Amino acid sequence: TAYNLLKPDGRLFAICSESAFTNTYKRNEDFLKFLEEVCTVVTDIARGAFAESGTMAGARVIEIQK
Residuewise pLDDT in 10s, the chain (66 residues): 899 999 999 999 999 999 989 888 999 899 999 999 987 899 999 999 999 999 999 999 999 999
The region, left, alpha or beta by phi > 0 then psi within -120 to 50, assigned to residue 14 is beta
pLDDT of residue 9: 92
pLDDT of residue 1: 81
